Amino acid sequence: MKEPQIIVIGNGMVGYKFCEKLRSKTSSFNLIVFGEEPRRAYDRVHLSEYFNGKTADDLSLSTENWYQEQNITLFLNNPIVKIDRELQKVYTANGLDYHYDILVFATGSGAFVPNIPGIEKEGVFVYRTIEDLDLISGYAQKAKTASVIGGGLLGLEAAKALIDLGIEKTSIIEFAPRLMPRQIDAAGSDMLKSKLADLGLQIHLNKNTISIEGDGRITALKFSDDTALDVDMLVISAGIKPRDELAKACGIEVGPRGGIVVDQKMQTSDPAVFAIGECALYDGMIYGLIAPGYEMAEVLAANLCEGDKTFTGFDMSTKLKLIGIDVASFGDNFITEPDCRTIIFENKHKGVYKRINVSNDGQYLLGGILIGDATAYNLLLQTSNNRIVLPENPEELILGARGGSEPAGGAGITGLPDSALICSCEGVSKGDICSAVADGSCENIDDLKKCTKAGTGCGGCLPMVKDLMTYTLKSQGKYIKNVICEHFNYSRQELFDLIHIHELKSYDEVLDALGKNDGCEVCKPLVSSLLASLWNEMILKKGNDVAQDSNDRFLANIQKGGSYSVVPRVPGGEITPDKLIVIGEVAKKYNLYTKITGGQRIDMFGAHLNDLPIIWEELIAAGFESGHAYGKGLRTVKSCVGSTWCRFGLHDSVSFAIQIEERYRGIRAPHKFKSAVSGCIRECAEAQSKDFGIIATEKGWNLYVCGNGGSKPQHALLLATDLDSETCIKYIDRFLMFYIRTADPLTRTATWLNKMEGGIDYLRNVIINDSLGMAAQWENEIENLIAAYKCEWKEAVENPAIRKRFSHFVNAPEDKDPTIEFVEMRGQKRTAEWKTV
Amino acid sequence: MNEQSNWLAACRVEDAIENGGVCVKHGEDQIALFYFTRRNEWYATQNECPHKKQMALSRGMIGSTTDEPKVACPFHKKTFSLSTGECLSGDECAIKTYPVKIENGTVYIGTTPKS
């Protein structure tokens, strides 16, 4: 018998979720999907991240092969234009027709565009699809001012996008007297408005736009109060409009203000036709959030597989981060006295507004609003949804307990019933999560996401999912230990101490004494790093070379194509003309590409493995030494020119930078670390983005620690002020040894501090007040490391056994790797692209 | 074992690197030779990592997972079984492996791949 055929119109998030849910339940049904957009379903909730570097591919919900693997026929760029319900056929724009047994509308919604004169002008956009975003970002290049009509959730997102695109003046026009009128009250709106104003957004409330001015292209907006605003572009985000036009045209019942009318089973007025997501109107309401859309998809998929599920409305609580500002509402957010009692906390200084609505008998939480700080959201939502009896002082739920005690009553995750819905996107309850952990199938968050799907939608519940996981593991008596790999049943810190106590000096000794089997690419570099941090011996001796990561093994950074780069140390970024000439000559002689690095030195790329020793021999002869650009250790100490030349400089930052770089050069650590010294508060050396940074003051030096650039920038925190040079170095000694001894593998100082209980206050206590009593030992240890320093490239070129290993072919030591290819670019060479497709 | 008619004299045992790899030139081809001293085993595989087509496996770290001997490519840490060539990082691609024998202190690689 032929399988019944389901046709889904619309390939948005809900349409995709329906396919996924249906296929997870059954492989029967021929499933055909028609999408009008040119790409596979993507994550519209995080659409604005498209402007922060996410690509269309990153946002895609499925892989390219997914539909094929699931035996689903997908037509993109192919809208349905007509439906014949008698023949049970749909007709595509290119004239083909397909029969259906079951038809599913997942057409979603379009932007609601108010009928303002001039709306058709060039420079007016909506904010809905990736194509819209491309159009906006193209036009934004030549725009200096922009407005968004609509101060709701999407409007604010759109405004943020415009700021990200570099528009100098962005404003929001809202018809209502407050922002986000569906979610927050007037006081919350005031708080949000002042925070947004701080970010440079102009907010105009109570504004009714009556016309869009301009000759073909928008130049200004006119309002009903006779005011006007000059703008170069406009984004309309005044709400959504269900895409019900096809349904309406074929006679299916739609609501008076739009939306395909459905019952609890998502069935429309035609029993063979269903509607889910933002195009569906249930009980007079359009559900414009992702979680209820997914729930509708689940209900329909289950019922098609002989299930018996119903949709009976959905909790519209939301939590989001708008332009870095937490905004949340839950439960009955607008209920007021005398139907409830409200508790309000407002801190204008920090921009925090919290309101909770409590039942008149003080027993239950009915709803609330959070602006500026929504950390309590998950717990409040659960307390409200599960009708958990409130503690005696419910204000502690939003203020935190004072006097050091935890809030009383059943407010924590332990007090939640198993039925509490934790992930509303995927419908995962506390019981689902805890039992997945308890039965042993998941012991980390990735497993848990795979197995329960919790936290894979908007991700807002992840902190609570993690807490539940840790709580369940702990309650089973499981000690969550950070072991290195299958060969060593220790954490890095434990292994550090054990190697120290047993005075082990090579990887093989460590493996024999403390590990098992043969080791691997995880424990080998880790142990090698510990050995180097402890003893600071030449890292390629004692057979340790094969236990080093590739870069350490060849004392150079392997680059695309298999060539290496060479970076001599240039302490503090100070270099003589003669040494510059040497670098130029060496680079020319060995045909190397040269580039100035971010750390004030010069990188030479494209060296063959065979040439490394001879290149270094020449550099060493000219007075250079290894720059350890390849190692997990000190990279550079950047400096500004300081008081020797600069008219603002307070101290000689270059001399201090050189002193520090030469002090810590070659010391291996859990990860690389960087430093900088600035000669005054203008901070030209960017010391506050470094693992430790020093800034001159009138009285001495300020020491900052645990900053980071890179993908997650973090400002360094002030550890101590107005230090003399000697004390500054003493504190850095202690800081570095504490880090080297206790950080997890491949953890930068910023992450190390973030995980540290007590944070910077605790660190300050350890470093300055010596609260652990370790300072003297650490200072002693680092002195030993400093005394043991030798340039490892000098040792390598002078040791024939080590030098021999710098050849590509064991049976043709003179031959270089013939597969390395370079091409020309701007008068230098560059490496050829990866050879894969 | 398949029949090997072509044995390439790769190097002397003392030229190989203990618990590591060297690269052997075989005409236009490159073969990675590993002396897994800890297990007293020899392995040979193609030198090219199939992931990004880099001539790099001989410079990778070797080790084991459960009891399977493996090598990790230095570029992106894809790991491959030294005995079967199978990719252990969940990818489709496998590498060629070659038989190795030692005679009178010389290491020979059979140049017809095992798989």
Segment A12-30, tens digit of pLDDT: 999 999 999 999 989 889 9
SS3 A442: coil
CA distance A455 to A445: 9
Distance (Å) from the C-alpha of residue B73 to the closest C-alpha of chain A? 9
Distance (Å) from the C-alpha of residue B109 to the closest C-alpha of chain A? 12
Residue A506: list chain B partners with CB under 8 A: none
Buried b / exposed e over A685-708, threshold 16 CB at 10 Å, is bbbbbbbbbbbbeeebbbbbbbbb
**Is B60–A550 a contact, with Cβ atoms under 8 angstroms apart?**
yes
Residue A547: list chain B partners with CB under 8 A: 19, 61
Q: Which two tokens stand for residue A145?
A: 């001012």
Query: Does the CB of A554 have a partner CB in chain B at under 8 Å?
Result: yes
**A213, β-bridge pairs:** A220
CA distance A787 to B38: 34
φ, ψ of residue B69 to 5 degrees: the values are -70, 140
Distance (Å) from the C-alpha of residue A620 to the closest C-alpha of chain B? 25
Average pLDDT of the segment spanning A682-703: 96
Q: How many CB pairs under 8 A join A and B?
A: 97
| Angstrom distances, CA of residue B104 to CA of A123, A810, B14, B23, B31 | 81, 18, 12, 21, 21
| Predicted local confidence at residue A52, as pLDDT | 75
CA distance A332 to B14: 79
| Predicted local confidence at residue B55, as pLDDT | 93
CA distance A259 to A441: 43
Q: Percentage of residues in chain A with pLDDT exceeding 70? A: 97
**Which of A65, A518, A820, A821 is the mutation pick for testing B, counting most B CBs within 10 A?**
A518
Distance (Å) from the C-alpha of residue B66 to the closest C-alpha of chain A? 8
Fold category of B7-110 in CATH: Rieske Iron-sulfur Protein (2.102.10)
**Is B39–A518 a contact, with Cβ atoms under 8 angstroms apart?**
yes
The minimal CB distance from A834 to the residues B53, B66, B72 is found for: B53
CA distance A70 to A814: 54
Split at pLDDT 50, 70, 90, the class of B78 is confident
Q: Which two tokens stand for residue A469?
A: 């996981």
**Is A520–B69 a contact, with Cβ atoms under 8 angstroms apart?**
no
Q: Which residue of B has its CA nearest to A523?
A: B63
Query: A269-273, A557-561, A813-817 — which one is most confidently predicted on average?
Result: A269-273
Distance (Å) from the C-alpha of residue B96 to the closest C-alpha of chain A? 18
**Is A810–B52 a contact, with Cβ atoms under 8 angstroms apart?**
no
Asked whether A703 and A732 are in contact (CB, 8 A), the reply is: yes
Split at pLDDT 50, 70, 90, the class of A426 is confident
Distance (Å) from the C-alpha of residue A287 to the closest C-alpha of chain B? 40
Q: Which two tokens stand for residue A492?
A: 């890095």
A443-454 per-position pLDDT tens digit: 777 778 878 888
| B103 or A409, greater pLDDT | B103
Sorted by where each begins, the domain ranges of chain B are 7-110
| Predicted local confidence at residue B3, as pLDDT | 61
**Is A547–B61 a contact, with Cβ atoms under 8 angstroms apart?**
yes
Distance (Å) from the C-alpha of residue B10 to the closest C-alpha of chain A? 6
A467: Cα within 13 Å, side-chain hemisphere? 12
Distance (Å) from the C-alpha of residue A541 to the closest C-alpha of chain B? 13
Q: Strand B29-36's sheet: what is its strand order? A: B20-26, B29-36, B41-46, B97-98
The minimal CB distance from A519 to the residues B52, B54, B63 is found for: B63
Average pLDDT of the segment spanning A116-129: 92
Average pLDDT of the segment spanning A381-396: 83
Distance (Å) from the C-alpha of residue B11 to the closest C-alpha of chain A? 6
Average pLDDT of the segment spanning A287-313: 91
Is residue A570 pLDDT above 90, yes or no?
yes
Average pLDDT of the segment spanning A449-472: 79
| Predicted local confidence at residue A365, as pLDDT | 92
Q: How many CB atoms lie within 10 A of CB A393?
A: 14
**Is A558–B23 a contact, with Cβ atoms under 8 angstroms apart?**
no
680-699 in chain A: CB under 8 A from chain B: none
Average pLDDT of the segment spanning A327-356: 90
Split at pLDDT 50, 70, 90, the class of A407 is very low
Average pLDDT of the segment spanning A52-73: 87
Q: Are strands A72-75 and A30-34 parallel, antiparallel or unpaired?
A: parallel
The minimal CB distance from A808 to the residues B23, B53, B72 is found for: B23
| Predicted local confidence at residue A90, as pLDDT | 96
Query: Does the CB of A834 have a partner CB in chain B at under 8 Å?
Result: yes
**Is B64–A518 a contact, with Cβ atoms under 8 angstroms apart?**
yes
Average pLDDT of the segment spanning B34-63: 94
| DSSP track, A37-96 | SSS--B-STTGGGGGGT--HHHHBSS-TTHHHHTTEEEE-S--EEEEETTTTEEEETTS-
**Is A549–B61 a contact, with Cβ atoms under 8 angstroms apart?**
yes
Asked whether A219 and A399 are in contact (CB, 8 A), the reply is: no
Average pLDDT of the segment spanning A508-520: 94
483-542 in chain A: CB under 8 A from chain B: 486-487, 508, 517-521, 523-525
| Predicted local confidence at residue A187, as pLDDT | 92
Q: Which residue of B has its CA nearest to A816?
A: B25
Nearest to A388 by CA among A430, A346, A427: A430
Query: Does the CB of A835 have a partner CB in chain B at under 8 Å?
Result: yes
Asked whether A277 and A8 are in contact (CB, 8 A), the reply is: no
Is residue A661 pLDDT above 50, yes or no?
yes
| Predicted local confidence at residue B4, as pLDDT | 67
| A480 or B47, greater pLDDT | B47
Is residue A409 pLDDT above 90, yes or no?
no
**Is B30–A819 a contact, with Cβ atoms under 8 angstroms apart?**
yes
| Predicted local confidence at residue A456, as pLDDT | 74
SS3 A719: strand
Buried b / exposed e over A48-66, threshold 16 CB at 10 Å, is bebbeeeeeeebbbbeeeb
The minimal CB distance from A562 to the residues B18, B54, B64 is found for: B54
**Which of B61, B68, B108, B111 is the mutation pick for testing A, counting most A CBs within 10 A?**
B61
A473-504 per-position pLDDT tens digit: 877 766 666 678 889 988 888 899 999 989 99
Asked whether A518 and B39 are in contact (CB, 8 A), the reply is: yes
Q: Which two tokens stand for residue A574?
A: 């100070």
Could you tell me the sign of the dihedral formed by the alpha carbons of A477, A478, A481, A486, in that order? positive
Lowest mean pLDDT among A11-25, A45-59, A648-662, B51-65: A45-59
Distance (Å) from the C-alpha of residue B84 to the closest C-alpha of chain A? 17
**Is B54–A524 a contact, with Cβ atoms under 8 angstroms apart?**
no
| Predicted local confidence at residue A768, as pLDDT | 94
CA distance A211 to A30: 50
Q: Which residue of A has its CA nearest to B36?
A: A518
| Predicted local confidence at residue A404, as pLDDT | 39
76-95 in chain B: CB under 8 A from chain A: 77, 79
Query: Does the CB of B39 have a partner CB in chain A at under 8 Å?
Result: yes
Average pLDDT of the segment spanning A562-568: 95
**Is A562–B65 a contact, with Cβ atoms under 8 angstroms apart?**
no
**B67, β-bridge pairs:** none
